[in-house]
Structure 1
Amino acid sequence: MSEHKEQYECIQRLRHAPAVSDSGWELFIHRTERKQVKRGAYLVNAGERVSYAYFCITGLFRLFYTLEDGKEFIKSFSLSNEFVTSYGAMISGEPSYFSIQALEDSAVIEIPYAVLQELSDRSHEWERFVRKSVEQLYLKKEERERELLFLSAAERLEAFRKKYPDLELRIPQYQIASYLGISPVSLSRIINQKRN
């Protein structure tokens, strides 16, 4: 297992990782692959089917929709020690509605969906692990929907800053505006008002 030690240690860092047996990790590690992802490269393209989930070892990804007029709407960001995929597309076999792009040079563990299914069928430990991972994705999605429906743009900016403390220094302002659902001009106005 030493040649895949980094994969093992990265997955173990998850807060909700259960006590999976060594043989369970061994199977996981030998059926997954560590990959480097260059800045600007895509893990998922909208309109394509999805066969993999990814665990971000290092780096940063944006998950975004492209509207018919070409405008982009960022639904979320994925950082180190988080899973990232188009989960709905992966389990349904339908094409993804959104894309996932690296905003920095990143490293991921690529996990075939078939491997997740096999591990879940074989082991209650892995079934719990997958369920807990999906629950985290669901909570993130629900929180995002609540922010868009109930918070003002200024309140959404505050929520963004709490959720992603250092992200303002890592991404351009127009991407923050896209995530907040406002124009870059409106974001500049809110930021200036807060400074005064």
Structure 2
Amino acid sequence: MQLYYRSLKKMAHQGSIIDHDWNRFVEQTRVRHVQQGTYLIETGEPVEHAYFCSEGLFRLFYTLADGREYNVGFSPEDDYVTSYGAMVQGKPSTFTIEAMEDSVVIEIPHHVLKELMDTSHMWERFVRKSVERLYIRKEERERELLYLSARERYDAFLLKYPGLDKRVAQYHIASYIGVSPVSLSRLLRSDLH
């Protein structure tokens, strides 16, 4: 079990979390194995946990009324994944999070996160920095969709998620950068000439 907490502990100690606070965290969270294709959070569900991905990969996506899916992000190893807005507001999630590979997460109940933040300035700082990273990622994504060409959005995807193009089906990447799979295939073929 400690293997799964290792990368999170390394990140946490960069934020100066002392052993006593770390031990409280480990006691109140659990390691969860998630099979490929399993939904960690579904649209319309209440969100009571945040997750830290120790192994594997998740995608975050919206589903339109006609059934089309739009990927808005990916969470690989050493990344957080949740519907943060829904969790803190006590509202249902507006998007779904699916395991794209067999994965392992640390499941963190929201009430535990709140308690740690209320009692430890170090945990409060650590969570704040994590949320800041999520917010920056969201802002970057909005800017990319508004200002960049399809080619530039694809290049931004490669920079943001190194190696993910080898782990994710091309149609998922197309959905993420806001083009059809055919358009992405055409764009990538033009690079070969």
Offset of 1:5 from its aligned partner?
2.6
- For residue 121 of structure 1, the aligned residue among 99, 118, 121 is 118
1:95 corresponds in structure 2 to 92
- For residue 144 of structure 2, the aligned residue among 139, 147, 151 is 147
Residue type at the aligned position of 1:115: V
Report Cα offsets for 1:98-136 as digits up to 9, x if no partner: 000000000000000000100000011111011011111
Aligned equivalents of 1:23, 1:7: Cα separation in 2: 19
Report Cα offsets for 1:130-172 as digits up to 9, x if no partner: 1011111111111111100100111101111111221111111
1:169 corresponds in structure 2 to 166
Aligned equivalents of 1:24, 1:162: Cα separation in 2: 34
Alignment identity in percent?
55
Residue type at the aligned position of 1:19: S
Provide TM-score, normalisation by structure 2. 0.96
Show structure 2 runs of 5+ residues with no match: none
Could you say what secondary structure the match of 1:156 adopts? helix
2:101 corresponds in structure 1 to 104
1:54 corresponds in structure 2 to 51
1:76 corresponds in structure 2 to 73
Show structure 1 runs of 5+ residues with no match: none
1:195 corresponds in structure 2 to 192
Offset of 1:7 from its aligned partner?
4.5
Aligned equivalents of 2:155, 2:80: Cα separation in 1: 24
Residue type at the aligned position of 1:108: V
Go from structure 1 to structure 2 and tell me whether the alpha carbon gap of 1:116 and 1:15 turns closer, same or farther (over 3 Å shift).
closer
Residue type at the aligned position of 1:36: H
1:24 corresponds in structure 2 to 21
Query: Alignment length, in residue pairs?
Result: 193
1:179 matches 2:176: yes
2:62 corresponds in structure 1 to 65
Aligned equivalents of 1:39, 1:17: Cα separation in 2: 31
Offset of 1:52 from its aligned partner?
0.1
Provide TM-score, normalisation by structure 1. 0.95
Question: Is contact 1:119–1:127 with CA below 8 Å preserved after alignment?
Answer: yes
Aligned equivalents of 2:105, 2:82: Cα separation in 1: 11
Aligned equivalents of 1:15, 1:186: Cα separation in 2: 41
Aligned equivalents of 2:162, 2:4: Cα separation in 1: 26
1:13 corresponds in structure 2 to 10
Report Cα offsets for 1:42-86 as digits up to 9, x if no partner: 110001110000000010000000011110000000010001000
Aligned equivalents of 1:121, 1:7: Cα separation in 2: 25
Q: CA RMSD in A?
A: 1.3
Deviates more, 1:125-134 or 1:16-25: 16-25
